[in-house]
Structure 1
Amino acid sequence: MDRRTLLKVAAAAVGAPLTSLAMPAGAQAAGAYHVAVCEQLKNQILIHPAGVDWTPANRVWSWTPPATVENTWALLSDIKFRNTSAFGWVALVTASGGKVGIVNMGDGDQLLWSARPYGNPHAIERIPDISAIVTASADPGFLSVYGPTDSDDPSTLTKVQEIQYQGAHGLWYDGSYLWALGTWTIAKYRVTGDHLATRLEKVWGYVFPTAFNGHSLDADYSDPAYLLITGGGSVQRLHKASGALTLMKPTAVGVKSFSRIASGESFWQQAISGAEHWNSYIQFFDSAGNEGVRRPLTGYGYTGKFYKSRLSSVAFS
């Protein structure tokens, strides 16, 4: 796609209030933010405004990975957006088929860097300032750290550390610490060093009493003191300073991701029953947790298979 003007939504970045989105059951979202989805039928990333039908005309950005002989870009499974000094906005993407990468959002949406960590990668995160990348792979369970020799050149990223982490699925950097989520554990890491000396040092961890099978980590933009985690048939809120967990939604079986904006409204992807890991719509909730509008793809000529959804921290104009 042509270069667009990419503007950071300050609320998404630092937790400042977004425009309030009043969404009683059945109502339309006000459209003050964008939602990104990993859509696995066509294997693409799509971004639409929250408050309108998700049609091709209303789509503001899309990306499809390159074809590979080994099909390593199959089943896109994570998407995050980060602002960089060298390229502006980039998209961080993973595919369960084996690949992770950094996409320059403009000028042809160039794939700036890609790698193949351990099997079934489910999350990727970038550490600002030092431009390091961390990935989470579920099979056999590793966090992989990549450090650059040139912070402005992602092609110089080299694997510098591996940490065993059973069922590694979720990653989130909150500006101070990197958080990781897996089958049994949620942990907090300090990032030390830079370039090829970049390392993660564990400073705190919590082991769930039964297998939590953690899936996704995200910021709680209604209160930056918290993170949101999914797994164990629930959505939980983690207080970062104390490590205290609060159950938000106990009937959340199959939820792959949960996002909450500054006003308290939220949305999730909940996989359909059975062996499938996708759903054809994203469910929105008002600030009291009541179900609101559901967003499927409309006018695309096919039924989308959504695997994960996230609040997009970029706006397009």
Structure 2
Amino acid sequence: MPTSAQAASVYHVAVCEQLKNQILIHPFAPGVDWTPATRLWSWSAPAQSAWGMLSDVKFRNTTAFGWVALVTASGGKVGIVNMGDGDGLLWQAEPKGNPHSIERIPDIGAVVTASSAPLDADADPQSPDHYPGYLTVYGPTNSDDPSTLAKVQTIAYQGAHGLWYDGNYLWALGTWTLTQYQVTGSHRDTRLVKVWGYTWPDKDHPFNGHSLDADHTDPNFLLLTGGGSVLRFNKSTKVFTTVTPSGVGVKSFARIASGESFWQQASGPGPGPRDHQNYFIQFFDRVGTSVEHRNLRGYGYDGQFYRARLSSVDFT
């Protein structure tokens, strides 16, 4: 069972692998290939269409269950996996649309998900049931029991793809917008209240926000991937700077405390079988120079990666 945060420089990487529809964690360390023998943890989604195409994973430490994995699937499902007890699902829901991100609010135990595509494709486009993307908030009756979660709020959010809770605010990223929310209330009274928001001005060339993550070199920054670039966002000054302008097709970007980084670039070297996947995860040194491409070895198949995240847990 995982116990503590992983140190920098030798670290653990979690991938959403869509061929077998699984989450895999391997170490990134010199001379250590990603093989079944070096695999630290894996989880396979239930064999249901709504669990198809795993799209995101985050790891959070909880009071009642220890480390859990938050997972989403483009087929429509989201869930919480109990990593310390048989990897069973503590909770699952179907916000519909195309779920791309999930976050848990500690202490109150609420969960927020981000979905792109309409809530109800058959609904009138002008009706509340035809959001072109939305956030869904789930509140519990017992903060330590995910099985008590139920939907309490839905917020229209164009192309919702990214979520990150930084300990003070929940941040959401979509097609044109980055938004800061205060989480108010508790239990079934949990609600998101908008504090600040930014909209990219070029409607003809939207940012197409995709992935949102912490910059582990400095907690005052977030990292964003869009249609063609990776940006760093200062939460205090609300200023964006470009990490790389050549980030076309990047589905996720992570930077560890030492400054090393990695991404999944669907249009990068070693393209995958679909335009949103890749067989490789690309790694960079502290100055942004590409140093390695990692793929699965010894599995008997080529992993089809969609996203890659820094694993915050240690299995020693």
Aligned residue in 1 for 2:4: 8
* Runs of 4+ residues deviating >2 angstroms: 272-275
Shift of 1:275: 5.5
The superposition leaves residues 214-242 of structure 1 with CA deviations (integer Å, 9 ceiling, x where unpaired) of: 00000000111100000030000000112
Q: TM-score, normalized by length of structure 1?
A: 0.91
Say which structure, 1 or 2, has more relative contact order (CA 8 Å, 6+ apart): 1
Shift of 1:8: 2.0
Alignment of 1:93 onto 2:71: yes
The superposition leaves residues 56-105 of structure 1 with CA deviations (integer Å, 9 ceiling, x where unpaired) of: 0000000001122xx00000000000000000000000000000000000
Q: Report how many aligned residue pairs link the two structures.
A: 293
> 258, 261, 267: which is aligned to 2:256?
261
The superposition leaves residues 100-128 of structure 1 with CA deviations (integer Å, 9 ceiling, x where unpaired) of: 00000022101000000031000000000
> 228, 236, 242: which is aligned to 1:233?
228
Aligned residue in 2 for 1:79: 57
> 128, 142, 150: which is aligned to 1:158?
150
Shift of 1:243: 1.2
Name the amino acid aligned to 2:65.
F
1:73/1:96 contact within 8 Å kept: yes
1:118/1:142 contact within 8 Å kept: no
- What secondary structure, in the 3-state scheme, does the structure 2 residue paired with 1:58 have? coil
Aligned residue in 2 for 1:180: 172
- Counterparts of 1:304 and 1:118, CA distance in 2: 26
Identity score, percent? 68
- What secondary structure, in the 3-state scheme, does the structure 2 residue paired with 1:221 have? coil
Aligned residue in 2 for 1:298: 297
- Counterparts of 2:201 and 2:38, CA distance in 1: 45
> 35, 58, 67: which is aligned to 1:55?
35
Q: How does 1:1-317 map to 2 (within 5 A)?
A: 4=1, 6-9=2-5, 18-19=7-8, 21=9, 32-51=10-29, 52-68=32-48, 71-140=49-118, 141-210=133-202, 211-272=206-267, 276-317=275-316
- Counterparts of 1:186 and 1:107, CA distance in 2: 36
Q: TM-score, normalized by length of structure 2?
A: 0.91
Name the amino acid aligned to 2:314.
A
Shift of 1:152: 1.2
- Counterparts of 2:299 and 2:138, CA distance in 1: 37
- Counterparts of 1:123 and 1:309, CA distance in 2: 13
The superposition leaves residues 110-150 of structure 1 with CA deviations (integer Å, 9 ceiling, x where unpaired) of: 10000000310000000000000000000120100000001
- Greater shift after overlay, 71-80 or 104-113? 104-113
2:232/2:243 contact within 8 Å kept: yes
Name the amino acid aligned to 2:223.
L
- What secondary structure, in the 3-state scheme, does the structure 2 residue paired with 1:175 have? coil
